[in-house]
Amino acid sequence: MKGLVDKPRRKSAPADGERYEDPSFSAAVIAWQKQHGRHKLPWQNTRDAYRVWLSEIMLQQTQVAAVIPYYQRFLERCPDVFSLAAAPSEDVMALWSGLGYYTRARNLHKCAQRVVNEYGGRFPDDPDLLADLPGIGRSTAAAIAAFSYGRRAAILDGNVKRVFARVFGIDGYPGAKPIEDKLWLRAVALLPDEGIEAYTQGLMDLGATLCVRGTPSCKKCPLAGRCVALAQDRVGELPVSKPKKAVPEKETVMLVVAHGGDVLLEQRPDSGIWGGLLSLPEIAVGNAGQFEHAVQTLVAPYGVLDACRKLQPFSHVFTHFKLHIAPFQVALKSRSPRIAQHALVWYPVEKLADAPLPAPVKKLLLGVLRSDDLLAAV
């Protein structure tokens, strides 16, 4: 029987997170899950920790619909932790091929071998022990412990963060440490005393089916009556999206040196941006005097400098930075017959369209050279 043992009387202020306790929250989630949640996913209706674990790893960063065929194919080939541990890693990688995030597959294999070697093939039920295994973090460990063993442990994945951020009106990016710490406190405090499986599944289902990123179905939500975001009409603002780091900006000067139907190009090193491509010669950005001298030095082996005019500057955005390009057109009085030594080459203009050039450089060159009266006269 329950309830025979009194909780100890409070001797001090509530612990952190304790004030977040609210049995009606989990009750609402559990009732909704039983009636409206998902019950027929291939990894449900089993307490086989191997299957639960496999599905949880596959579901990291990956949506249910994408996982299902992989999960079933994987189980046919590796029906238990022993067969997986014994499988060649090439086979494991092949089974994972197409799912992405391949460190998951390597960790999966390692994890299976550790479970066999250290636990005799039985996944531990302690979330802390689970979280010590490769590829299993705190949230995944809790999910495995809850679904496989009925252990009372809190999950906090992207779906749950979104639900909590909205229901409790939590400002700030949930990936930031202080916010995430608060979310974990909530997650732990809100755990039900009974029905951890339906509760855990219910949080996942809410995030995946109603409380979705784009347009949530608040009218169907069992938590709508207590949802701070809904009450404040901030559903579209929460959770706060990841602050986009100001992209670093860099500048460069590119030279368009054309003569006799050729243009001077530079072979880029294999590493770094535009690795291995041909591009325009660049010079370091400095003051005007240094600039003139740098242009002189660069073109000296190839001919005698005639004139230099500034072209329209433009920018190019990469994933990780923004590049401002200041192009200059350099005309030569005459061209030296000597062969280029280092990475600079004369490249026939008519072959530029098929040259391995970065897109912005190709665009610049074709634009400039098409309207180039100097070139047209050659």
Partner DNA sequence: GTCCGGATGC
Partner DNA sequence: GCATCCGGAC
| Catalytic residue numbers, as ranges | 56
CA nearest 349: which of 320, 334, 333, 371?
371
Alpha-carbon distance of 258 to 282, in angstroms, equals 15
Residue from 86, 284, 317, 343 binding DNA (CB under 7 A): 317
Residue from 1, 65, 288, 339 binding DNA (CB under 7 A): 65
In the complex, the smallest distance separating the C-beta of residue 320 from DNA, rounded to whole angstroms, is 6
Residue from 320, 338, 371, 373 binding DNA (CB under 7 A): 320
Based on the shown chain and the rule CB under 7 A, indicate whether residue 217 belongs to the binding site for DNA: no
What letters, b where the CB count within 10 A reaches 16 and e where it falls short, cover 118-151?
eeeeebbbebeebbebebbebbbbbbbbbbbbeb
Q: Helices 138-149 and 196-205: crossing angle, nearest 10°?
A: 130
**Judged by CB under 7 A, which stretch of 75-83, 96-104, 261-269, 341-349 contacts DNA?**
96-104
Q: Draw the binding track, 161-190, toward DNA (x: CB under 7 A; -: no contact).
A: xx------------x-x-------------
Alpha-carbon distance of 76 to 153, in angstroms, equals 30
In the complex, the smallest distance separating the C-beta of residue 164 from DNA, rounded to whole angstroms, is 12
Based on the shown chain and the rule CB under 7 A, indicate whether residue 66 belongs to the binding site for DNA: yes
Based on the shown chain and the rule CB under 7 A, indicate whether residue 135 belongs to the binding site for DNA: yes
Based on the shown chain and the rule CB under 7 A, indicate whether residue 61 belongs to the binding site for DNA: yes
In the complex, the smallest distance separating the C-beta of residue 258 from DNA, rounded to whole angstroms, is 28
The answer to whether the beta carbons of residues 282 and 254 sit under 8 Å apart is yes
CB atoms within 10 A of CB 241: 11
**Judged by CB under 7 A, which stretch of 31-39, 78-86, 137-145, 253-261 contacts DNA?**
137-145
Based on the shown chain and the rule CB under 7 A, indicate whether residue 139 belongs to the binding site for DNA: yes
**Judged by CB under 7 A, which stretch of 25-33, 102-110, 112-120, 271-279 contacts DNA?**
102-110
**Side-chain-facing half-sphere of 331: CA atoms under 13 Å:** 16
Q: Which residue has the tokens 């992209």?
A: 247
Based on the shown chain and the rule CB under 7 A, indicate whether residue 100 belongs to the binding site for DNA: yes
Based on the shown chain and the rule CB under 7 A, indicate whether residue 136 belongs to the binding site for DNA: yes
The answer to whether the beta carbons of residues 10 and 182 sit under 8 Å apart is no
Based on the shown chain and the rule CB under 7 A, indicate whether residue 236 belongs to the binding site for DNA: no
**Judged by CB under 7 A, which stretch of 116-124, 157-165, 250-258, 264-272 contacts DNA?**
157-165
Which helix (H) or strand (E) segment is 345 a member of?
A: strand 344-348
Q: Tokens at residue 47, please? A: 């307490």
In the complex, the smallest distance separating the C-beta of residue 174 from DNA, rounded to whole angstroms, is 7
What letters, b where the CB count within 10 A reaches 16 and e where it falls short, cover 281-311?
bebeeeeeeebeebbeebbeebbebeebeee
For the segment 250-309, give every residue that binds DNA (CB under 7 A).
Answer: none
DSSP 3-state assignment of 331? strand
Enumerate binding residues for DNA (CB under 7 A).
60-63, 65-66, 98-103, 107, 134-141, 157-159, 161-162, 175, 177, 212-214, 239, 241-242, 244-245, 317, 319-320
